[in-house]
Structure 1
């Protein structure tokens, strides 16, 4: 008898007599080709076995949704799982209790492209130097939120993203991130890196790095050997007091630079610091110790954040070339009466938003850019608004003058007449005793809380047909001081805040479109049956901290309020029981054609 050698990958038919008998029987049947079941033995079912392929091996409790993916996230694992398939390309072990990575287990997984070890307890001692030498296809490694004290000495050349954030790293090595031609993103924030821990050749041979995060470390100056390919550089929350000359001279692709929350002074910068950054769009220098606007700012800037410094004076020449600047933030500096000379900001032709709150300005800056859309000036010392103070900004849509020193007698009747595009006006926290005149007809939001208003007359509110929100909280208003017809023209008003005044009952004839009414903190002791007849769309009513008792609210008061869902009556002398009206029945929808 001649024994046939089994083909590689196929079972030995000579060792299975039952199967041979079955095949011989099939060959004797008429109409069947003689090669059935012989050319591709793997397609033929074994006796007593299913035709389905055997299940893939998967570590206990893990999930393997695809042949190349193993997910062991959040299983409280303390030991690296065995039985991981060699075909794995994506392995997630995040949110466990691993303390070390065994080299023999990792070396098997040579096809890995993504390794996620985020949020474990892995120390540098538990991560051998040769741990990644066999992972020649690895592209993404996430080891954030572990216990590493030094970075791995060798990472694969194939790497594209490396995340070592939130460890205790004090040192990286030349081949940690060097010689990685495909490397795009490196995250090292929230570590303990000083300049001594960054070698001068840390990124040599890695010419594609676009994002580098070194924030929340212990750097005392900007490292001079950063990748020239950078587009985003995060250096915030360090101890940086200086940018060495030339440190940023090669980063000509840089678009975003974050240096906030450092110790930069004027002497730590010079006219050449940013001069080579011809693509820079976003520069954050806030929360430093600068006394003046830096020189040599790139003309490409769209956002310049200088808030929380010590700037006393803005030199026009320092901003003159920034014609594309959109957002200028100068809040919480020391700008006084002469801090913004007239016309200092006029060259900023594209300026959209100017933040100046928390300074010492006693008037609105003069000759502002004509295209300005948002002027934010709260917490200054502005005491007057003249007829022409806002004339240079006809496109203004948002004006915030809250918490200044404005008195009604010093707000000119025509102060707002040019602001036809104004949609939001905030005058809260001033000393106004009456509503300003000449308010723009297009207003959507008007905030007048925390003033000294004692009366409301219909004339200042006439024509505000688009007003949707009106806040009059924390004033001294009484119902008898609200003139007849005050609410008549507020046809679009949806939110009215009259809280913390001196109202003794619900004001009558409120706007029909009203959906939210704040009356808390008044002196209301009775709500009559007709209190809300004019507001059928009311959804939320706040009556807490008034003088209501158990029987203070007429049962009929809410009958017509089919949309009412919230009534707050807490903090009154007695618990007040309110029964909401039944839900309005839905109207049947018309059938389509």
Structure 2
């Protein structure tokens, strides 16, 4: 009889532990109890759904587990991997126990904007990378930490970005918004002083975004509905080296004279547009992609205004295939002007 009473007491004690903690704390408690019982476990404080290997004590791996919720995250964890699951929402407070998180990886889930709490990420003051691409988001999550440097929101259903979506995020260097439904971006990028890479491919932009950060190094705008480039556009971004405008609706009329004749530009992609002439480019340009346009002549003056032994283009790659010209249209003088070119595809 005393044995039965003792067992009941022990059961009540365990039950009280389960009531004091959340469901996910309870799973962690079970894991710890399992280890004390002699089970072979690599980690002590880790939810049953995940792995926290001793070789990477601050990482929690929960990817590809068919999870429908974010599990309890122990306080010592800095890197949590939750990609390729079936998570639809994140409630406020989920990460409150792990405010030292540096990476949160949630790509390839089913996240819905209406099911994400307004302050889910707000307490993560050390968050550096937030990967939310390949989900069902219709807007940028609110109250994002100002510490983020890498934010990935590509392959969602975002159609509009509120003016304060990136407010105060002065450390953000990489922003991926490709494959969404964005038509106009307004001036939401104005305060992103550290932004060097912006990816807005496969949206519905009708013009190049305004008020881009001056430090921008890479700008990807392929697969949009852009018809023109503003005069003096590249002079406002002296650090821009990689500019891609392929698969848009550019015409010669939409390109002001000399708009690409900027010495800092290294790569320019204007392929799959409606250009009939080769635009004038800087001699410092190294890669130029013009395939699949309507170009009818090879104008050497687009690359060299004068041709001599000291003035020549630094171009290494030139693609002109799928246009209305052939190799016979390239003048002999091109050998002097384009002496560094390793490949011309006509």
TM-score for the superposition, normalised by structure 1: 0.49
Q: Is the 8 A contact 2:99 2:124 kept in 1?
A: yes
Q: 2:223 & 2:193 partners in 1: Cα distance?
A: 26
- Residue of structure 2 in register with 1:228 after alignment: 75
Cα offset for 1:232?
1.1
Structure of greater Rg = 1
User: Which one of 249, 254, 267 corresponds to residue 405 of structure 1?
Assistant: 249
Q: Unpaired runs of 5+ in structure 2?
A: 1-27, 305-310
Q: 1:335 & 1:299 partners in 2: Cα distance?
A: 23
Cα offset for 1:388?
3.3
SS at match of 1:319: coil
The residue correspondences of 1:260-339 to structure 2 (distance < 5 A) are: 260-336=107-183, 339=184
Cα offset for 1:385?
1.4
Q: 1:175 & 1:309 partners in 2: Cα distance?
A: 38
Change (3 A) 1:184 1:402: farther
Q: Is the 8 A contact 2:99 2:125 kept in 1?
A: yes
Q: 2:243 & 2:165 partners in 1: Cα distance?
A: 26
Cα offset for 1:285?
0.5
- Residue of structure 1 in register with 2:276 after alignment: 433
Q: Is the 8 A contact 1:263 1:289 kept in 2?
A: yes
Q: Is the 8 A contact 2:312 2:336 kept in 1?
A: no
User: Which one of 167, 185, 204 corresponds to residue 340 of structure 1?
Assistant: 185
The residue correspondences of 1:495-574 to structure 2 (distance < 5 A) are: 495-498=343-346
SS at match of 2:288: strand
Considering fraction of residues, name the structure with more helix.
2
Cα offsets for 1:510-545 (capped at 9, x unmatched) = xxxxxxxxxxxxxxxxxxxxxxxxxxxxxxxxxxxx
SS at match of 1:174: helix
Q: Is the 8 A contact 2:49 2:62 kept in 1?
A: no
Runs of 4+ in 1 over 3 A off after TM superposition: 175-186, 388-391, 478-484
Change (3 A) 1:245 1:423: same
Q: 2:49 & 2:230 partners in 1: Cα distance?
A: 57
The residue correspondences of 1:46-65 to structure 2 (distance < 5 A) are: none
The residue correspondences of 1:128-143 to structure 2 (distance < 5 A) are: none
Range with greater deviation from structure 2 (264-273 or 362-371) = 264-273
Q: Is the 8 A contact 2:151 2:172 kept in 1?
A: yes
Q: Is the 8 A contact 1:369 1:392 kept in 2?
A: no
- Residue of structure 1 in register with 2:100 after alignment: 253
Cα offset for 1:449?
1.0
SS at match of 2:219: strand
The residue correspondences of 1:107-506 to structure 2 (distance < 5 A) are: 173-175=30-32, 183=43, 198=49, 209-223=57-71, 225-336=72-183, 339-341=184-186, 343-417=187-261, 419-437=262-280, 439-462=281-304, 465-483=313-331, 485-498=333-346
Q: Is the 8 A contact 1:185 1:210 kept in 2?
A: no
Q: Is the 8 A contact 1:245 1:273 kept in 2?
A: yes
SS at match of 1:175: helix
Count of paired positions: 308
Q: Is the 8 A contact 1:300 1:325 kept in 2?
A: yes
Q: 1:173 & 1:475 partners in 2: Cα distance?
A: 67
SS at match of 2:165: helix
TM-score for the superposition, normalised by structure 2: 0.82
Q: 2:75 & 2:326 partners in 1: Cα distance?
A: 67
- Provide the aligned C-alpha RMSD in A: 2.8
Cα offset for 1:480?
5.0
Q: Unpaired runs of 5+ in structure 1?
A: 1-170, 189-196, 499-593
Q: Is the 8 A contact 1:275 1:297 kept in 2?
A: yes
Cα offset for 1:350?
0.3
Change (3 A) 1:479 1:213: closer
